[in-house]
A and B are shown apart, each in its own frame.
Chain A
Amino acid sequence: MRGVLEYLWRDMLRWTRGKVAVISSLVMPATWLIFVGLALPTSFTTNYLDFITPGILVLTMLTASFQAGSSLIFDKILGFLNKFLALPTPRESILLGKIFFSTARGLLQATVILVLAVLLGAASWSAQVVILTYVLLGVFGILIASFATTIALHLGDHDSYAAVNAMISMPLFFTSSALMPYSVMPRWLATLASINPVSFAIDAIRAVQVNVIMWDRILPLTGMTLLVLAVSIIVFRRTSL
């Protein structure tokens, strides 16, 4: 669709020209992996690193995707969004550009994590596992990025967006199956975790690692993604200030 690649190109150029931002976005997930993966005492597994890597991958995607909304807020505050909305280019291209950019950046960060995990002693993954993992991360990234960008479209300043982000992303992560398996969770947490889209992505990736396709996780995740994406596209088409 016209415009998507152009908006993607713009965000990509802007991002790569800020050296500090690039370095920080590659170092941050690595820090998570090292401190959480190697430092937490656990009793349910002998190799916590293997267990935590899918969680850190999804967390990284979650954070990366929420930045899509942040980027839209800045475009809005600085007047870029008004210029873009006045163009004949389909308005949903703005949304799709942000989604694809944040997802691509998230996958790049995921690659750093995967490489590092292997270096730190995690079992290495076959090409097929890596590809399936990327697809799942991509679907999850699109879900979160469409949601975040559409929320941002309706907020007036960056502080409110940061508040919404904190209110949603951290609880979503801690009530997921990222840090521990369902078997060791308290009942209430296990219930929450089992309906959390973050768990859908993590569980599906863990299953892929042992060559299982977990349709009861993949289908709801994909369904949610398509639904949220469709709603977001409609909202962007109809937007007015």
Chain B
Amino acid sequence: MIVTRNLTKYYGSLCAVSDLNLDIKGEIFGLLGPNGSGKTTTVLMLTTLLRPTSGDAYICGYHTTRSAAKVRSVISYVPQDMAVDIRLTGRENVQLFARLYGLARSKDRVDELLGLMGLSGRADDLVSTYSGGMRRRLELAQALVHEPSVLFLDEPTIGLDVAARRKIWGHIISLRKKGMTVFVTTHYMEEADHACNRVAIIDRGSVAAIGTPGSLKGELGKEIIVVRAEGDFDSFSTENATKIGCAGDEIVFSSDMGSDIVPILTKDLHAAGLTVRSVSVREPTLDDVFLQLVGQGDDRGPFDDRKFRMMLRRRG
């Protein structure tokens, strides 16, 4: 469904996506990465909006630049910014897309999709009165009018509250069950872990790891030990556990030893002159995988003032 071969994009001398090779078919595929890692750039290339600097991408066998029109007829794309016309009603917003796709009997299809997304009751209200979650579902309804084979969602849950996010993921999972391939970007690891069949973690444009959430977590070790400590823990290391990173005043280790590791590690930390406040053991999460691969790196993208304001507005 989605195949990329050495897909690469340079903005001037900045390499936003580097030699991306993906084979995605009939699954929910999550592209995870910190701000500025190249997620949106990848989606824009796959949706024919941006010309790759080099390399190729195919959607359902169609080349994204040589057969761009064919690609556009089998995909749908919901961008990161929430773009719905607030002066139009929900129904008018979906109707617009149904007509743009040239659907016959578009009225039935529009009603059906508004119902599917739980918007029937508010369909004739202006979108300016909709909550963030409703607007996202409206965008999903727009994207689904022509029953695409591949759906691209760029940060579909950004700025939404917990309940709204859960609803969006519920819809995504049921689309997958109907046979759709879904390509989704996010930086909420927990959501990706729960919903995606496979994920790729990208950092500075390159894939750092790819696989099912389970296998990526499995590679880390059986358990994660989180230590809160004071002192110079940047330089601390031990041969009894693998240090996967630091986050705030916490040091995170992985190990396969079971709970035996706790006293051993505590002893090592004391020996290094660190003051240990607490030690806890838990199962690995995708956040830990992310921490190990990407670290706590600084935000590298240029600050998008408008995006930030929109996020605040949606949260507020």
Contacts and interface: CB of A to CB of B under 8 A. Distances in A.
Interface string A71-97: 000000111101111111100000000
B277 to A, nearest CB: 45
Contact of A6 (B69, B72, B99): B99
Contacts of B49: 82, 85-86, 240-241
A2 interface: yes
A79 B101 contact: no
B88 A13 contact: yes
B2 interface: no
Contacts of A17: 87-88, 126
Interface string B125-152: 0100000000000000010000000000
A82 B100 contact: no
Among B51, B78, B87, B100, find the residue whose CB has the most chain A CB atoms closer than 10 A. B100
A237 B312 CA distance: 36
A180 B266 CA distance: 91
A44 B88 CA distance: 51
A83 B83 contact: yes
Contacts of A83: 77-79, 83, 142
Given A87-B101, A240-B50, A241-B50, A80 B72 contact: no
Given A6-B100, A79-B82, A241-B50, A86 B87 contact: no
Contacts of A241: 44, 49-50
Given A83-B77, A240-B50, A10 B102 contact: no
A87 B92 contact: no
* Size category, A interface: 20 to 34
Contacts of B73: 88
* Size category, B interface: 20 to 34
A82 B72 contact: no
A88 B87 contact: no
Contact of A10 (B81, B82, B83, B85): B85
Contacts of B72: 86-88
B35 interface: no
Contacts of B81: 78-79
A87 B88 CA distance: 20
Interface string A1-31: 0110011011001100110000000000000
Among B49, B73, B75, B76, find the residue whose CB has the most chain A CB atoms closer than 10 A. B49
B186 interface: no
A77 B69 CA distance: 24
Nearest to B75: A86
Contacts of A89: 100-102
B254 interface: no
A30 B51 CA distance: 47
B44 to A, nearest CB: 6
A88 B147 CA distance: 13
A87 B96 CA distance: 12
Contact of B92 (A13, A78, A82, A88): A13
A13 B87 contact: yes
B185 interface: no
Interface in B69-115: 69, 72-73, 75-83, 85, 87-88, 92, 96-97, 99-102
B128 to A, nearest CB: 10
Nearest to A89: B100
A185 to B, nearest CB: 45
17 contacts: A2-B100, A7-B100, A14-B88, A18-B87, A78-B83, A79-B80, A79-B82, A82-B44, A82-B83, A86-B47, A86-B72, A86-B77, A87-B72, A88-B69, A89-B100, A89-B101, A240-B51
The 10 A-B residue pairs with the shortest CB-CB distance in the complex, in nearest-first order: A79-B81, A79-B83, A88-B73, A86-B77, A17-B87, A88-B72, A6-B99, A86-B47, A80-B83, A89-B100
